[in-house]
């Protein structure tokens, strides 16, 4: 649940509104005018936006090109000519050139980030190899059929579904906000702790795992929800980053779609999802990575269901 501004949606709506207004006023629509009205940086329309969501960046670029094309058509209609003037061609070329410059700049930034991530990853690998060498001969491997660890500490389970009082969207939003408050209360304690974030489609076994999991860490919490995309997990990291004494663990439930559909068919009607919705959930999963500089999971546990 996110109540922050959807700048792209506002810019798109503003563009559609200005197209209606221009039929009455004849004013030329420009990126600068839309950016000013919606209080959005013009660079967004050229893809220069700080976000891990590449699809959102592409949508901004497409909107910028659409606005520029519409502006060109407006000028052609106003001049009564089907062929753009040399001045219009030059302006259009400048816009395209600026867009290319921004994309090159963005590529350079991505390259630099990748270099930094590679160096950090290599350092981490070296540290882990050294740690493994020091622990050789002391490792005990235990094979278990379930993801339950044989320790006594019981973690706090925070579940938006358990807090929900109805099936409508308002009840879901309230439950999500209440769960976020509980998470903040859990991480605000001064003790060092583990926070487990479950990631998986409905029916993948998240709640079952959360109810049976025990940890060697005396203080830990599990945020039991689907958390399928990076956007879904953004608010969680916004809260978790406030403390530097937290070890963040992603618990990923890898279950094939056929198994999810079979489990869903056996659920009671109140909990059963339409097959199309379940498939949409499954198709939207964005798996976490230790090399993601935005989420920064300390550990990732993959569980096959």
pLDDT at 191: 79
Give yes or no for residue 175 having a pLDDT over 80.
Answer: yes
- How confident is residue 97, by pLDDT bands cut at 50, 70 and 90? low
Share of the chain above pLDDT 70, in %: 79
Fold (CATH) for 147-304: Rossmann fold (3.40.50)
Share of the chain above pLDDT 90, in %: 24
119-149: pLDDT as tens digits? 888 887 777 666 555 544 433 333 333 444 3
Greater confidence, 94 or 276?
276
For the chain, the structural domain boundaries read 7-112, 147-304
The whole-chain average pLDDT of the chain stands at 80
- How confident is residue 85, by pLDDT bands cut at 50, 70 and 90? low
Which residues are 199's β-sheet partners? 252
pLDDT at 42: 85
CB-based contact 188:161 (threshold 8 Å): no
- Residue 10: other Cβ atoms inside 10 A: 15
- Residue 142: other Cβ atoms inside 10 A: 6
CB-based contact 220:196 (threshold 8 Å): yes
Greater confidence, 9 or 83?
9
199-253: pLDDT as tens digits? 999 999 999 998 888 766 566 899 999 999 998 899 999 898 877 788 899 999 9
Give yes or no for residue 81 having a pLDDT over 80.
Answer: no
pLDDT at 110: 75
Tell me the C-alpha to C-alpha distance, in Å, between residue 261 and each of 152, 216, 242, 278, 287: 34, 34, 38, 8, 20
6-45: pLDDT as tens digits? 888 988 999 888 888 887 887 888 888 888 888 888 888 8
pLDDT at 145: 37
Greater confidence, 105 or 284?
284
Full-model pTM: 0.51
Contacts 24+ apart (CB under 8 A), 91-98: 92/68, 95/68, 98/46
- How confident is residue 47, by pLDDT bands cut at 50, 70 and 90? confident
């Amino acid at each position: 649940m996110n109540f922050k501004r959807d700048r792209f949606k506002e810019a798109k709506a503003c563009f559609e509104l200005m197209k209606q207004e221009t039929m009455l006023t004849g004013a030329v629509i420009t990126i600068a005018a839309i950016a000013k009205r919606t209080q959005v940086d013009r660079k967004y329309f050229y893809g220069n936006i700080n976000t891990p969501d590449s699809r959102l960046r592409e949508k901004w670029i497409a909107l910028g090109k659409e606005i520029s094309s519409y502006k060109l058509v407006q000028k052609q209609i106003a001049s009564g000519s089907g062929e753009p003037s040399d001045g219009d061609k030059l302006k259009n070329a400048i816009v395209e050139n600026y867009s290319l410059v921004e994309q090159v700049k963005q590529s350079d930034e991505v390259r630099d980030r990748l270099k930094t991530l590679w160096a950090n990853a290599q350092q981490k690998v070296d540290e882990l190899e050294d740690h493994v060498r020091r622990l050789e001969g002391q490792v005990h491997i235990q094979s278990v059929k379930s993801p339950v660890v044989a320790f006594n500490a019981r973690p706090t389970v925070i579940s938006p579904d358990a807090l929900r009082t109805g099936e409508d969207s308002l009840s879901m939003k309230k439950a999500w906000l209440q769960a976020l408050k509980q998470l903040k209360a859990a991480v605000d304690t001064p003790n060092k702790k583990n926070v487990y974030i479950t990631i998986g489609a409905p029916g993948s076994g998240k709640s079952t795992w959360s109810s049976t999991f025990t940890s060697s860490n005396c203080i830990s919490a599990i945020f039991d929800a689907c958390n399928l995309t990076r956007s879904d997990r953004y608010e969680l990291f916004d809260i978790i980053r406030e403390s530097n004494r937290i070890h963040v663990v992603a618990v990923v439930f890898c279950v094939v779609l056929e198994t999810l559909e079979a489990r869903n068919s056996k659920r009671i009607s109140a909990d059963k999802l339409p097959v199309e919705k379940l498939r949409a959930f499954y198709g939207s999963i964005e798996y976490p990575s230790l090399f993601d500089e935005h989420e920064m999971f300390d550990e990732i546990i993959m569980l096959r269901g």
